[in-house]
């Protein structure tokens, strides 16, 4: 039987063809185990760059979803390794639609959502305004304010223009007592709208003011509040 195999040239040729075909398959076809890749989805915050200190960008979309193509066997990507950035250099106040750029030098980006962001660039302004005293609690008819003083009497508001437009006053809230009393405390001033509600986006400096007040009964001669 061995002689038959040695003398069978057709069998030898068939074996050679099979061997060459197998080598070519392994050599030229990508190894599915080695070449396999997987995708990773990351949610990253959207950052801005290029704005001067006196401008701010109002953005509805604060996060971007990035899908990254990662080689099989690679280490999982940390969100801090990927940045979603809006370049706002050279833009003044106004409404813009800006393409979102992803910075991830080590990885291949498969998809990005959103691809662009509509935003409003606003100027940040500051204004000096007087501080008023706002009394809280139940005001009793037999108790009146004999004197009230705020030091310093002016504060600086700093905020985007659209927020400042809603400010009606800067105030400190003083509790109204149920009996004659003197009041002396450091209080935080707030920017309030016409209904007395605080507008948190408005920064106030200084952040604490000394407030002194004197409450007396109505049978005591009162002074004009300052």
What's the CATH code of the domain at 43?
A: 2.170.120.30
Average pLDDT, the chain: 83
Same domain, yes or no, for 164 and 99? Answer: no
Pick the more confident residue, 140 or 207: 207
Of 68, 89, 114, which closes a domain? 114
DSSP bridge pairs for 37: 71
Same domain, yes or no, for 59 and 106? Answer: yes
Return the SS3 of 107. coil
What are residue 161's phi and psi, to 5 degrees?
-55, -45
Q: Which domain holds residue 208?
A: 124-217
Same domain, yes or no, for 46 and 92? Answer: yes
Same domain, yes or no, for 108 and 133? Answer: no
Count of beta carbons in the 10 Å neighbourhood of residue 157: 20
Q: Taking residues 168-184, report their average pLDDT.
A: 94
Give, in degrees to the nearest 5, the angle at Cα 187 between 169 and 211.
Answer: 85
Q: How confident is the model at residue 2 (pLDDT cuts 50, 70, 90)?
A: very low
The yes-or-no verdict on residue 7 having pLDDT over 60 is no
- Within-domain flag for 183: yes
- Integer-rounded Cα Rg, in Å, for the chain is 36
Q: Taking residues 196-220, report their average pLDDT.
A: 92
User: In this structure, what token pair is assigned to residue 58?
Assistant: 């109002």
């Amino acid at each position: 039987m061995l002689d038959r195999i040695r003398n069978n040239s057709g069998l030898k040729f068939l074996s050679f063809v099979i061997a060459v075909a197998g080598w070519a398959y392994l050599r030229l076809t990508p190894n599915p185990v080695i070449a396999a890749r997987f995708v990773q989805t990351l949610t990253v915050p959207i950052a801005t760059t290029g704005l001067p200190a006196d401008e701010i960008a109002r953005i509805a979309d604060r996060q971007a979803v990035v899908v990254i193509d990662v080689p099989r066997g690679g280490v999982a990507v940390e969100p801090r390794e990927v940045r979603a950035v809006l370049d706002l250099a050279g833009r003044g106040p106004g409404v813009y639609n800006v393409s979102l750029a992803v910075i991830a030098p080590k990885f291949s980006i498969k998809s990005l959502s959103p691809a662009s962001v509509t935003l409003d660039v606003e100027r940040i302004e500051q204004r000096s305004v007087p501080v008023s005293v706002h009394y809280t609690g139940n005001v009793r008819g037999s108790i009146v304010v004999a004197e009230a003083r705020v030091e310093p009497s002016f504060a600086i508001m700093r905020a985007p223009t659209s927020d400042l437009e809603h400010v009606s006053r800067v105030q400190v809230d003083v509790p109204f007592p149920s009996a004659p009393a003197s009041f002396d405390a450091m209080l935080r001033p707030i920017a309030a709208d016409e209904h007395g509600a605080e507008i948190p986006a408005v920064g106030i400096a200084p952040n604490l003011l000394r407030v002194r007040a004197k409450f007396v009964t109505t049978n005591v001669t009162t002074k004009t509040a300052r």
